[in-house]
Amino acid sequence: MSTTADTVEKKGYDVEEIRAQFPILKERVHGKPLVYFDNAATSQKPRRVIKAESTYYATINANVHRGVHTLSTKATEAQEAARETIRTHINAKHAHEVIFTSGTTASLNLAAFSLGQLLLKKGDEVLISGMEHHSNIVPWQLACERHGAVLKVIPVTDEGELEPRRRDDATEYFTERTKVLALTHVSNTLGTINPVKELIAEAKKRGGVTVVDGAQAIAHLDIDVQDLGCDLYAFSGHKAYGPTGTGVLYGREELLNEMPPWQGGGEMIDTVTFEKTTYAKLPFKFEAGTPHIAGIIGLGEAIRWMEDYDKQAMAAHEHLLLEHATKELLTIDGMRIIGTAKEKVGVISFVIEGVHHYDLGTLLDQQGIAVRTGHHCTQPLMERFGVSGTTRTSFACFNTVEEVNSMVAATRKAVKMLR
């Protein structure tokens, strides 16, 4: 995908109008205007999302699905309206296929535990990739250890793409023992957009269950779970302009009905005796305890906020930032970008010869610029590229070309100080 400033302008994208909706962008850090390039870690929140949460607490604060009084009814309606908003946004067939969790990590742990109980036995295989976040590695390791299964890994190329993409043949990574394919849609470290639809099709030909980590995709791509054909799709609210502590696990109805519960407690039960418990219908079977009601309402509002804008225009703007930042950063002596896939979202991880990423991040912060440094919860990927960590800059719809220029100039200044 390529674009120009003119293309973005023709679509009517007004970045200043967008920026005005984010109160935090008026903050100053060390006396400098905040430049927030850490969106892959957590995105900032527009005013209406913040208001949706505070309005819940101020006007209808009550537990959901458990009371006949007015406040409980209103809270329940608001939460279930968010569920329906999310259903339509990802094109799920049914609202009860949308399970609320505390985030992508919880969603993937639910998937790994429950599918492990349902599917895995000694000698079976779980297939992941070499660019997975720890949250899509460790839960599957635990499941494999519990059931005697084997974890297999699709290698990553020097460009930061999956090997099958370069060979037009993914079959060598699948065997008759492959029971689960668990794959990130977009790499949080490289920005790579993976060919998940093609790999899902390969897995399903062999009867495998497919799980997609959509944490980095939900704010940048159009997600259609029916078109993808996946069985489960996980994402967080806080990376999509919504509240922290919120997440979703979409699951195909037939599979969710087969999967055993992950946690036990209130709301997820039908009947309880000391001899036996039966479980509630979907989605409540997987929603034990009081949910993060205010956060869920805020997440629904964040999704509605995104839907108010032209998603293609947002993506074009972010891609413009990606192209411009990549070009300008490469003018810095000793610069090496980790991850140069043909299909990327607005994420750039880089190392600079003779400069430690932590030192660079500290000096950028002194100039008001927020980036992420470290291994980004992808230690195996860092080992693959022979680095201990990177500096990562990640863009959102509210960032500007001027901010990119400020970051590049600040990086250049910091490099002179550190060498």
The catalytic residue positions are: 377
**Rounded to the nearest 10 degrees, what angle do helices 293-307 and 70-90 cross at?**
40
C-alpha distances in Å from residue 212, one per residue of 91, 113, 194, 419: 15, 15, 10, 42
CA distance 35 to 369: 5
CA angle, 173 then 179 then 182, to 5°: 70
Burial of 12 (0-12, 13-18, 19+ CB in 10 A): exposed
Radius of gyration of the chain (CA): 22
CA distance 156 to 398: 31
CA distance 382 to 376: 9
CA distance 277 to 314: 48
- The three-state DSSP-derived secondary structure of 54-72 is HHHHHHHCCCCCCCCCHHH
Tokens matching residue 310: 């032209």
C-alpha distances in Å from residue 181, one per residue of 45, 160, 165, 227: 33, 19, 16, 17
